[in-house]
A and B are shown apart, each in its own frame.
Chain A
Amino acid sequence: MRVGVVTFPGSLDDRDAQRAVRLAGGEPVALWHGDEDLRRVDAVVLPGGFSYGDYLRCGAIARFAPVMRTVIERAAQGLPVLGICNGFQILCESHLLPGALTRNAHLHFRNRDQRLRVENVSTAWTSGLQRDAEIVVPVKNGEGCFVAAPDVLDRLEGEGRVVVRYADGNPNGSVRDIAGICNANGNVVGLMPHPEHAVETLTGPSTDGLGFFTSLLTATVS
Chain B
Amino acid sequence: MIDSVQHAEATPDHPQPYSELGLKSEEYHRIRDILGRRPTSSELAMYSVMWSEHCSYKSSKVHLRQFGDLPHSEALLVGIGENAGVVDIGEGYAVTFKIESHNHPSYVEPYQGAATGVGGIVRDILTMGARPVAVMDPLRFGRADAPDTQRVLPAVVAGIGGYGNCLGLPNIGGEVVFDDGYLGNPLVNALCVGVMRHEDIRLAKASGAGNQVILFGARTGGDGIGGVSVLASETFAADGPAKRPSVQVGDPFTEKVLIECCLEIFAEDLVVGIQDLGGAGLSCATTELSSAGSGGMHVVLDRVPLRDETLAPEEILMSESQERMCAVVRPSDVDRFMAVCAKWEVTATVIGDVNESGRLTIDWRDERIVAVPPRTVAHDGPVYERPMARPLDLDDLHADDPGRLPRPSTPEELRALLLRMVASPNLCDKTWVTEQYDRYVQGNTVLAQPEDAGVVRVDESTGLGVALATDGNGRYSRLDPYAGAQLALAEAYRNVATTGAWPLAVTDCLNFGSPEDPEVMWQFAEAVRGLADGCRVLGLPVTGGNVSFYNQTADTAINPTPIIGVLGVITDVARRTPMAFGGRPDEVLLILGETGQDFGGSEWAWSEHHHLGGRPPPVDLDRERALADVMVGAAEEQLLSAAHDLSDGGLAQALVECCLRGDVGANVHVTDDPFVALFAESAGRVLVGVPAQRVTRFTELCAEHGVPAAELGTVTPGRPELTVVGQFAVPLAELRAAYSATLPALFGPKPEKR
Contact = CB atoms under 8 A, between A and B. Distances in A.
A109 B251 CA distance: 17
B257 A10 contact: yes
Contacts of B257: 9-10
Contacts of B344: 9
A145 to B, nearest CB: 9
Contact of B446 (A9, A53, A202): A202
Contacts of B752: 105, 170, 173
Interface of A: 9-10, 12-13, 15-16, 19, 48-50, 52-55, 104-106, 108-112, 138, 140, 142, 169-173, 177, 194, 196-197, 199-200, 202-204
Contacts, number: 105
Nearest to B431: A112
A15 B435 contact: no
Contact of A109 (B161, B345, B445, B754): B161
B727 interface: no
A138 B256 CA distance: 23
Contacts of A13: 168, 441, 443
Contact of B435 (A49, A50, A112, A170): A112
Most A CB within 10 A of own CB, among B254, B441, B750: B441
Interface string B517-558: 000000000000000000000000000000000000000000
Given A53-B254, A203-B445, 12 more contacts: A9-B256, A9-B257, A9-B345, A15-B443, A16-B442, A53-B251, A105-B752, A109-B438, A140-B440, A170-B753, A200-B443, A203-B440
Most chain B C-beta atoms within 10 Å of own C-beta, residue among A16, A108, A110, A194? A108
B147 interface: no
Contacts of A9: 253, 256-257, 344-345
B661 to A, nearest CB: 13
Contact-residue bracket for chain B: 35 or more
A140 B446 CA distance: 17
Given A104-B751, A169-B753, A15 B442 contact: yes
Given A12-B168, A50-B253, A138 B753 contact: no
A50 B344 CA distance: 15
A9 B344 CA distance: 7
Interface in B235-262: 251-254, 256-257
A106 B440 contact: no
A16 B442 CA distance: 6
Interface string B154-172: 0000100110011110000
Contacts of A200: 443
A166 B626 CA distance: 48
A171 B436 contact: no
B444 interface: yes
A49 B256 CA distance: 10
DSSP class of B's interface residues: helix, strand, loop or mixed?
loop
Interface string B58-95: 00000000000000000000000000000000000000
Contacts of B166: 10, 12, 50, 53-54
Contacts of A16: 440-443
Q: Which of A19, A49, A111 has the most CB of B within 10 A?
A: A111
B751 A106 contact: yes
A106 B345 contact: no
20 contacts: A9-B257, A9-B345, A10-B256, A12-B167, A12-B168, A12-B441, A53-B254, A106-B751, A109-B158, A109-B436, A109-B438, A140-B165, A140-B440, A142-B165, A170-B753, A200-B443, A203-B440, A203-B443, A203-B445, A204-B440
Contact of A108 (B167, B252, B256, B436): B436
Nearest to B253: A53
Nearest to B168: A12
A53 B434 CA distance: 22
A106 B750 contact: yes
A9 B444 CA distance: 21
Given A50-B253, A53-B252, A203 B753 contact: no
Contacts of B750: 106
B437 interface: yes
B298 interface: no
A111 B751 contact: no
Pairs of residues from A and B, 10 with the lowest C-beta to C-beta distance, nearest first: A53-B253, A12-B168, A16-B443, A197-B440, A106-B751, A50-B166, A140-B438, A170-B754, A109-B436, A109-B161
B12 interface: no
B438 A111 contact: yes
Nearest to A17: B443
Contacts of B436: 108-111
Nearest to B576: A202
A49 B253 CA distance: 10
A10 B161 CA distance: 15
B123 interface: no
B198 interface: no
A26 to B, nearest CB: 16
A45 B512 CA distance: 49
A173 B442 contact: no
Contacts of B439: 111
Kindly name the residue among B162, B167, B252, B751 whose own CB sees the greatest number of chain A CB atoms within 10 A: B751
A203 to B, nearest CB: 6
A109 B748 contact: no
Contact of B165 (A15, A109, A204): A109
B625 interface: no
Nearest to B441: A12
A105 B749 CA distance: 11
B588 to A, nearest CB: 24
A115 to B, nearest CB: 12
A110 B257 CA distance: 24
Given A108-B436, A111-B436, A49 B168 contact: yes
B573 interface: yes
Contact of B751 (A55, A105, A197): A105
Nearest to B460: A19
B478 interface: no
A200 B446 CA distance: 10
A111 B435 contact: yes
Contacts of A138: 440
B457 interface: yes
Which of B162, B439, B443, B457 has the most A CB atoms < 10 Å from its CB?
A: B443
Nearest to A19: B443
Interface in B252-302: 252-254, 256-257
Interface in B740-754: 748-754
Contact of B573 (A109, A197, A202): A202
Interface in B458-490: 460
B35 interface: no
B737 interface: no
A110 B749 CA distance: 13
Given A105-B752, A203-B443, A111 B253 contact: no
Nearest to A170: B754
Nearest to B436: A109
A42 B254 CA distance: 32
B440 A194 contact: yes
A177 B573 contact: no
B460 to A, nearest CB: 8
A205 B123 CA distance: 31
B341 to A, nearest CB: 13
B574 interface: yes
Contacts of B252: 50, 53
A10 B253 contact: yes
Nearest to B747: A108
Contacts of B253: 9-10, 50, 52-55
Contact of B443 (A50, A108, A142, A196): A196
Interface string B417-446: 000000000000000001111111111111
Interface string B641-660: 00000000000000000000
A202 B464 CA distance: 13
A203 B162 contact: no
A170 B443 CA distance: 24
Contacts of B754: 170, 177
Nearest to A198: B440
